[in-house]
Amino acid sequence: MNVQAQAQAQDMVFTKQPYIEDVGPRKIQSMNFSTLSESEISRIAEVQVYKGQYYDAARIPIEGGLLDPRMGPNKEGICATCHGKFDSCPGHFGYIKLALPVYNVAYRDNIMNILKCICKSCARILLVEDIRKEFLKKMRNPRLEALKKAELLKEIVKKCNSLTGSKKAFKCSRCGYINALVKKAGPPILGFNHERPNSNDGTMEEFRSAISHTKDSKTVFSAPTFNLNTVDVLALFKKMVDEDCELLYLSDRPEKLIMENIAVPPVPIRPSVIMSGSQSNENDITERLKRIIQANASLRQELLEASTASNRLAGWDVLQLEVAQYINSDVHVPLSMQASRPLGGFFQRLKGKQGRFRGNLSGKRVEYTGRTVISPDPNLKITEVAIPIQMARILSYPERVSHHNIEKLRQRVSNGRDKYPGAQVVINADGIYGAKKQIADALRYGDIVHRHLEDGDIVLFNRQPSLHRMSIMCHRARVMPWRTLRFNESVCNPYNADFDGDEMNMHVPQTEEARTEAVMLMGVQNNLCTPKNGEILVASTQDFLTSSFLITRKDTFYDRAAFSLMCSYMVDGMDPVDLPTPAILKPIELWTGKQLFSVLVRPHANVRVYVNLTVKEKSYTKPNKEGEREKEAMCPNDGFVYFRNSELLSGQLGKATLGNGNKDGLFSVLLRDYKAHAAATCMNRLAKLSARWIGNHGFSIGIDDVQPSKYLNERRLETISRGYQGCHEKIKFYNEGKLPPETGCDAAQTLEAEITRILNNIRDETGKVCMKELHWRNSPLIMSQCGSKGSPINISQMIACVGQQSVGGRRAPNGFIDRSLPHFPRKAKTPAVSFAALYHECLNYARACYVLILVFLWDLIPNQ
């Protein structure tokens, strides 16, 4: 042997892969999935299984039994077919020869569809020739999608079924055999019945008409049914011509849907666990197979003994059900046939949460992951996420040592894995070592240090349910004390998160490529908009809106100290800020709140952001005369927001300008004209400013905010009693029968509609009055005006009256006998019956108000 060959021999690797000649890439032309036919099963099988036993007395698997070593070895044994051990033998199939064929339950519906469509004598399709040809042409269209073909099949089945389903018996156009309806046999029998008229069609019709006038014609008369047994069906299926199979959208021969042989799966997929002593614990599949073998044996016995073929074979049904349960143990079986303990079939192995697909294949457990409760932190940038130190100590990133970071990584390695800015392990050319002090000194360029997570690391942040792509976004880590994951509230929207105990997951990408990809594709900055319709999704919410609304009020002024302080709130430590020229110079310098927003959008001269936009806020009212566009900015409610060259000229900011779900708000325009960074930094500044400002300013909600004034109370009671009176009048008319019914309604429905209308009016009216009467400082009013929380309906419900509650467009239904609540008189139609305005007569007033405030804050009543 020469040197070259020797070297070649050393390089040789032994694999399980068969040798394949390299002929370049191959193209798969088609793929076909099918069930195995009788002959295929016996061909792939190594052994025929016919004994329903497992081990002999010496605890050796019995030959021909269910654990025959030719089907693969036990944990310790050796395969009798390939002589491999448990981990090298792939396992081999066996087979059971059934005494009589049975249906495959999984294809029950398909078998029935075929039976419905074919003649039960000549096995040709029931359709007449020209219709058959037409359908076949459609089915053969290569451009028709699979779904459309399935629809076409449904049409064919329906057509055939209607032929046999008609009262007149249907004669096969080819052989003259009389076909009728095919139906599933009632449980527990899994077969099919052919409801065929006994003799020729005429007598049946005569019989039918003869008894049609009798009282119990329906119960007495029923067509004689024939059980289509598997042997006959199998013969029919074998007789079917290929063209008909094509017409019925079968990719393979239909006889494969009927089982004559059963493949016995290899032992390794149904391992036998040997217990102490002579006991063994068998897999459900093995036990099922044992029951099949037993049922098969008794059927064979029955066949030998049976004198005439006409006798119904009880063992056949038993075998059929056993095989059905082997495939799907959920099929309905009589109590006597149920196993002593539940034995799952193949369906049960695959389906459900714990099944093979959802339990083992779809879900993967991953490393470099953290999960904990989330909480808000407006001081964080929108692109950041605060990670608890405990978490950062466990999660790591493999950083390669270079001359830029060697000192940092030395320090990390010497800190070890328990002290925070440390490292988990070091991987160098010689192998893997634990993080220790001497290794820190030995650190060389090119080594990889699995260091703890640090500020600025890239992580993926996710909240379930992940419904759209913004449910997982890329943030930068900020390692912080305490135990929650924290992020800016502006990012609640895309995750649909709140802080009532929600938990979120975090993943750490492990390579530079992954990090880059994550930032570019999934970064918060690059996902401010929803791909659904281009509306901005990451935007200010809640407090941010409230404080912006209050700051930009027309009559807010700040002196130099206050204004400078507020400017410093919004920026990071050393960032420069240019103070604008004060709006009022004499007697003292004063700046407006609106000027603060000019600073917020463009803090200093070097920021080249010149925003121009106009937004109509909620409170905007049109100028009286048409065409007075120049007066828009003079809206009496200051609802016209006008930014010109990044200066806020008019308008009190609210949700339309700063919030989500608007395509021409401030952030959308920033994003459009000055890229994501400008929008993100502006959002960061707003978050910091408003969190601090509202903390100093104070903003709370209490009972006082929902206490109606004396005037309001009087107006409210007056409106309610007026409404009640109207209702009583209508009821009076109704009782006298004078109520003119509306189109399409009877009197009672008309009354109900009228009352509902009146009661709805009450709430609207009282609501209007109370919105007008409220002080502008009223907290719920402010929140509803700026769009951060609540609506006018919420407020009027808290202050004036809850109003008519409608359930599905009607008044509260009668949950009790003839009344909606037990303390109302029966059958009363008066408004009090369902007018929940009576709440303060039933409850303590303060308590009722408190409940309503909670309802307001937590959105328990949907806005109507």
Q: Which is nearer to Zn ion, 80 or 382 (CB)?
A: 80
Residue 248: contacted member of Mg ion, Zn ion, none (CB under 5 to 8 Å, by partner type): none
**Whether the Cβ atoms of residue 396 and residue 368 lie closer than 8 Å to each other:** yes
Residue 305: contacted member of Mg ion, Zn ion, none (CB under 5 to 8 Å, by partner type): none
* Rounded Cα–Cα distance for residues 164 and 568 (Å): 86
Contact between 183 and Zn ion by CB under 5 A: the answer reads: no
Q: What is the smallest separation between the CB atom of 407 and Mg ion, expressed in angstroms?
A: 44
How many residues sit in the footprint of Zn ion (CB under 5 A)?
12
Q: How many CA atoms lie within 13 A of 628 on its CB side?
A: 11
Cβ contacts of 505 within 8 Å, gap of 6 or more: 369, 370, 371, 461, 462, 463, 464
**Whether the Cβ atoms of residue 784 and residue 654 lie closer than 8 Å to each other:** no
Q: Which is nearer to Mg ion, 737 or 862 (CB)?
A: 862
Burial of 514 (0-12, 13-18, 19+ CB in 10 A): middle
Residue in 51, 138, 171, 174 binding Zn ion, rule: CB under 5 A: 174
Q: What is the smallest separation between the CB atom of 46 and Zn ion, expressed in angstroms?
A: 8
Residue 175: contacted member of Zn ion, Mg ion, none (CB under 5 to 8 Å, by partner type): Zn ion
Q: What is the smallest separation between the CB atom of 385 and Mg ion, expressed in angstroms?
A: 18
Q: Which is nearer to Mg ion, 501 or 813 (CB)?
A: 501
Q: What is the smallest separation between the CB atom of 179 and Zn ion, expressed in angstroms?
A: 8
Peptide bond into 587 cis (omega under 30): yes
Q: Which is nearer to Zn ion, 122 or 406 (CB)?
A: 122
Residue in 7, 44, 175, 703 binding Zn ion, rule: CB under 5 A: 175
Residue in 119, 380, 611, 680 binding Zn ion, rule: CB under 5 A: 119
**Whether the Cβ atoms of residue 170 and residue 178 lie closer than 8 Å to each other:** yes
Interaction with Zn ion in 67-96: which residues (CB under 5 A)? 79, 81-82, 84, 89
**Whether the Cβ atoms of residue 257 and residue 236 lie closer than 8 Å to each other:** no
Q: What is the smallest separation between the CB atom of 368 and Zn ion, expressed in angstroms?
A: 39
Q: What is the smallest separation between the CB atom of 231 and Zn ion, expressed in angstroms?
A: 19
- Dihedral sign for Cα 731, 735, 738, 740, please: positive
Q: Which DSSP helix (H) or strand (E) runs through 641? A: strand 640-644
Tokens, residue 18: 């068969």
Say what angle helices 593-601 and 560-570 make with each other, to 10 degrees.
30
Contact between 172 and Zn ion by CB under 5 A: the answer reads: yes
Residue 760: contacted member of Mg ion, Zn ion, none (CB under 5 to 8 Å, by partner type): none
* Rounded Cα–Cα distance for residues 147 and 150 (Å): 5
In eight-state DSSP terms, residue 129 is H
Residue 644: contacted member of Zn ion, Mg ion, none (CB under 5 to 8 Å, by partner type): none
Contact between 389 and Zn ion by CB under 5 A: the answer reads: no
Contact between 177 and Zn ion by CB under 5 A: the answer reads: yes
Residue that has been written with the tokens 């709006």 in this structure: 583
* Rounded Cα–Cα distance for residues 383 and 284 (Å): 52
Contact between 771 and Zn ion by CB under 5 A: the answer reads: no
Angle CA 33–236–106, to nearest 5:
40
* Rounded Cα–Cα distance for residues 455 and 476 (Å): 7
Q: Which is nearer to Zn ion, 46 or 765 (CB)?
A: 46
Q: What is the smallest separation between the CB atom of 541 and Mg ion, expressed in angstroms?
A: 14
Q: Which is nearer to Zn ion, 68 or 765 (CB)?
A: 68
Residue 535: contacted member of Mg ion, Zn ion, none (CB under 5 to 8 Å, by partner type): none
Q: Which is nearer to Zn ion, 84 or 359 (CB)?
A: 84
Q: What is the smallest separation between the CB atom of 121 and Zn ion, expressed in angstroms?
A: 5
Residue 498: contacted member of Mg ion, Zn ion, none (CB under 5 to 8 Å, by partner type): Mg ion
Q: Which is nearer to Mg ion, 502 or 673 (CB)?
A: 502
Structural Rg of the chain based on CA atoms: 40
Q: What is the smallest separation between the CB atom of 147 and Mg ion, expressed in angstroms?
A: 39
**Whether the Cβ atoms of residue 594 and residue 717 lie closer than 8 Å to each other:** no
Q: What is the smallest separation between the CB atom of 488 and Mg ion, expressed in angstroms?
A: 17
Residue in 35, 37, 48, 121 binding Zn ion, rule: CB under 5 A: 121
Q: Which is nearer to Mg ion, 407 or 498 (CB)?
A: 498
Tokens, residue 415: 């800190």
Q: Which is nearer to Mg ion, 129 or 498 (CB)?
A: 498
Q: What is the smallest separation between the CB atom of 428 and Zn ion, expressed in angstroms?
A: 43
Residues in contact with Mg ion by CB under 5 A are: 498, 500, 502
* Rounded Cα–Cα distance for residues 180 and 167 (Å): 9
Q: Which is nearer to Mg ion, 498 or 714 (CB)?
A: 498
Residue 500: contacted member of Mg ion, Zn ion, none (CB under 5 to 8 Å, by partner type): Mg ion
Strand segments (E) across 85-218: 94-103, 170-171, 178-179, 182-184, 192-194
Residue 713: contacted member of Zn ion, Mg ion, none (CB under 5 to 8 Å, by partner type): none
Q: What is the smallest separation between the CB atom of 463 and Mg ion, expressed in angstroms?
A: 9
Angstrom CA distances, 806 to 182, 753, 764, 833, stand at 50, 11, 14, 13
Q: Which is nearer to Mg ion, 500 or 841 (CB)?
A: 500
* Rounded Cα–Cα distance for residues 853 and 705 (Å): 10
Is residue 199 helix, strand or coil? coil
Cβ contacts of 810 within 8 Å, gap of 6 or more: 752, 756
Q: Residues interacting with Zn ion, by CB under 5 A? A: 79, 81-82, 84, 89, 119, 121-122, 172, 174-175, 177
